[in-house]
Structure 1
Amino acid sequence: MTWISTAESFGTRQILAVESVFKAHPHGCLMILSRTLDSAQGHMILKPLLDRGFKVQAVTPDLPFLLKNTPAEAWFNDIKSGEKDPGGIPLAQNLSNLMRLAALYKYGGVYLDTDFIVLKSFKGLKNTIGAQSINSAKNWTRLNNAVLVFDMNHPLLYKFIEEFALTFDGNKWGHNGPYMVSRVVHRVEGRPGYNFTILPPVAFYPVDWIKIVRLFKVPSQQADPKWFEVKLQELNEKSYGLHLWNKQSSKLMVEEGSAMGKLLSEHCVLCNQIYSS
């Protein structure tokens, strides 16, 4: 995980996302790349989980070290020197896109956004990225980088980092994230040497950003209950997790009796303040 905001803004919903990791992987190890959480205040936020024996640690990312000997090393030096325009989108947002790639490339493992609720163990997943959308022929139309599962030094990660540096645009939302991984995979899919799996949307993105609001509300008496039951069954049977699309859902309250309330209650370990998240 990465966290680029203040420690104060790492709230209940982010804690519940972290808890879901340990509900599915009680012996797992979670590192959060974050300067603000790597602090006394951050330690107090994570302390209830640490006290229960869960292995979670916030670490200030060393970007020059992470990017050394990668295709983005020169890009980062140009950003620091002012030779490269960072654009209008906050640079931290784009650095988060890059940090996840560099950390996975150098160490391997699983990357998760902080607005992703894990629903079942990732054991068995290897060199995997998820489709956000598919067409009528069931072919992917867009991938997303909110969940990445890759071995160390995987060539696809190298290509992602290379594409980030070569085509960086700090003014287009998503250009250096979901659109970037989609561009690269479109070019290399099926080529020898790139062994990876693309999972369908139901794996990581089972509810799109338009419909996510429905999970936070109690279902109405007309059409919603059926959708509610079908969606919960699908999530339990087919999904590894649920992306919450924080940009759309961050201000939504979890209503008692909602699908989100049920999911969070079943996939937490401390389970505090679910309905105030």
Structure 2
Amino acid sequence: MAKKSPADRLIRRAAKSPIFSTLAFAAILFFMYADTLISGLSTKNYDILQPPQMTSNPAVEGQGQVQLPLTLNSTVLTVGITERKIEEEVENEDPLIPPPKASIEERMEWFRGKLPELEILKSNRLSEKFHGRVLELFNNNCSAQFFMVWLSTAQSFGPREFLAVDSLFSASPDGCLLILSSSMDSPKGYRLLKPLLDRGSNILAVTPDLPFLVKNTPAEAWLDELKSGNMDPGSIPLFNHLSDLIRLAVLYKYGGVYLDTDFIFVKDLSGLRNAIGAQSINPATKKWTRLNGAVMIFDIYHPLLVNFLQEYATTFNGNRWGHNGPYLVSRVLERVRDKPEYNITIFPPKAFYPVDWIKIAKLFKKPETEADEKWAEETLVDISSGSYTVHLWNKRSRELKIEEGSVMARLTADHCNICEHIYDP
């Protein structure tokens, strides 16, 4: 056996001491509860502010324009952080994914069992404050009312999404952005948006109230049927379809500009009204062949939005990607294409979708040849001269990194304020 050193013998004697045992026990307790103590301290600054008193609720009553409250609390941008007493930060689960290869009957039975967990289909104490919080934000002398929908986790709101919001305020510094999201309406979401809030950007993440948004619209009966459990939710995650519905309903109730979260914004959209962008056109006739709802601009209560909501409710199909989104917009506009009373402008692809999804990866690559460099220069000039936005076709570019010297790197540098982590995917 190895001979014990004097230091070893000293430690063994100390270990038998009652004082040593007490100190060791106290240390163990400290490490066990340190996270809880720190978590409790970190949430003290997230008290909810009460919304202002409303003079009327025309979005519910269907009367004219929305009447806004007279004053705006200077801390309105922190109103939506949370009303819940949060001791630990808990993320929402990923979008509900139905069991694979299930029959319609099996899927409906599964969905009925999941209905109690779907908070987004209900009103609660926090979501019922939705209308008041929206009005308070939009009373801030907005040049335009912008909307985004985020039904994924706050954790997945990454550099790409932050870039979209950052570039939006670079192009429209006086705009107001509402992010409809329960996950971003949290301490985690606040921390993600704080760099923009610190710059004075008018941005607020709010838990949406879906029953309120569809009330007195053609989609109200559809939501009731879904909640009854007597409807096939489809094989595609339901949250994808709910995002399609929320964007239509919020535009109808408030009017403004809806935007997906995978854009770079090049020019101010505040001056546009009642507009949708074409994704593709017929080269011979120059008429659009497919529209896209990733950018939609409408006045409050626009009749075309009623048509969209009616189409959603009567032709809902949860098994086909895009059926309730971009394909829906195209179907309805095809029917009213030549009716002047809708007063709708269809912008060419160059306005919002200047780079096709097939070529989007090239935007992220550093030019390697003289031909590549020429294409990059021409693309930058083309975008700068005729585009309001650049759609990044998220599924096609999500994992791509922005290489230094690429078109994306140069676009980002020209159209962001904070420009953090721009080379992260």
* TM-score, normalising length: structure 2: 0.64
Percent identity for Structure 1 against Structure 2: 62
CA contact 2:175–2:270 (8 Å) conserved in 1: no
Residues 117, 242 of structure 1: 8 Å contact kept = yes
Give the counterpart of 1:235 among 356, 360, 383: 383
Q: Which residue is 1:87 aligned to? A: 234
- Distance, in Å, in 2 between the alignment partners of 1:208 and 1:18 is 22
Query: 1:21-63, CA deviations, whole angstroms, 9 ceiling, x for partnerless residues?
Result: 1001111110000010001111111111111111110001100
Matched with 2:298 is 150
Structure 1 gaps, min length 5: none
Q: What amino acid maps onto 2:179 in structure 1?
A: I
Which structure 2 residues correspond to residues 13-162 of structure 1 after superposition, within 5 A? 13-136=160-283, 137-162=285-310
Equivalent residue letter for 1:170: G
- What CA distance in whole angstroms lies between the structure 2 residues aligned with 1:57 and 1:104? 16
Shift of 1:210: 0.6
- Deviation of 1:115 (Å): 0.3
Question: How far apart, CA to CA, are the structure 1 residues paired with 2:320 and 2:389?
Answer: 27
Deviation, structure 1 residue 222: 4.5
Q: Using the alignment, how far apart are the partners of 1:175 and 1:128 within structure 2?
A: 20
State the match for 1:261 in structure 2.
Answer: 409
- C-alpha distance in structure 2 between counterparts of 1:154 and 1:117, whole Å: 27
- Correspondences of 1:175-190 after superposition (within 5 Å): 175-190=323-338
- The separation in 1 between residues aligned to 2:369 and 2:341, in whole angstroms, is 52
In the aligned structure 1, how far is the partner of 2:347 from the partner of 2:167?
A: 20
Offset at residue 123 of structure 1 (A): 3.0
The alpha carbon displacement at 1:109 in A equals: 0.4
Give the corresponding residue for 2:397.
249
Instruction: Provide the secondary structure at the position in 2 that maps to 1:117.
Output: strand
**What CA RMSD, in Å, does the superposition of the two structures yield over aligned residues?**
0.8
8 Å CA contact retained: 2:176, 2:203: yes
8 Å contact kept, 1:67–1:102: yes
**Unmatched 5+ stretches in structure 2:** 1-147
Q: 1:200 aligns with which of 326, 343, 348?
A: 348
SS for the counterpart of 1:64 is helix
Report if the CA contact (8 A) 1:75-1:84 is conserved: no
Partner of 1:3: 150
Q: Deviation digits for residues 87-107 of structure 1, max 9, x if unmatched?
A: 011110110011000000010
Where 2:280 maps in the other structure, the secondary structure is: strand
CA contact (8 A) 1:16 1:271 kept: yes
Q: Distance in 2 between matches of 1:39 and 1:150?
A: 29
CA distance in 1, matches of 2:342, 2:188: 42
Tell me the distance in 2 between the aligned counterparts of 1:182 and 1:201. 14
**1:8 aligned counterpart, secondary structure:** helix
CA contact (8 A) 1:129 1:145 kept: yes
CA distance 1:3–1:214, change in 2 (3 Å) = same
Q: In 2, Cα distance between the equivalents of 1:211 and 1:192?
A: 35
For residues 331 and 370 of structure 2, the distance between their equivalents in structure 1, rounded to whole angstroms, comes to: 41
Distance 1:40 1:123 in 2: 30
Could you tell me which amino acid in structure 2 is paired with residue 95 of structure 1?
L
DSSP 3-state at the match of 2:212 = helix
Q: For 1:93, what is the secondary structure of its paired residue?
A: helix
CA deviation digits over 1:106-152, x for unaligned, max 9? 10000100001110011321100000000112110000000001000
Q: Distance in 1 between matches of 2:167 and 2:298?
A: 20
Task: Supply the AA of the counterpart residue of 1:45.
Answer: L
Letter in 2 for 1:185: L
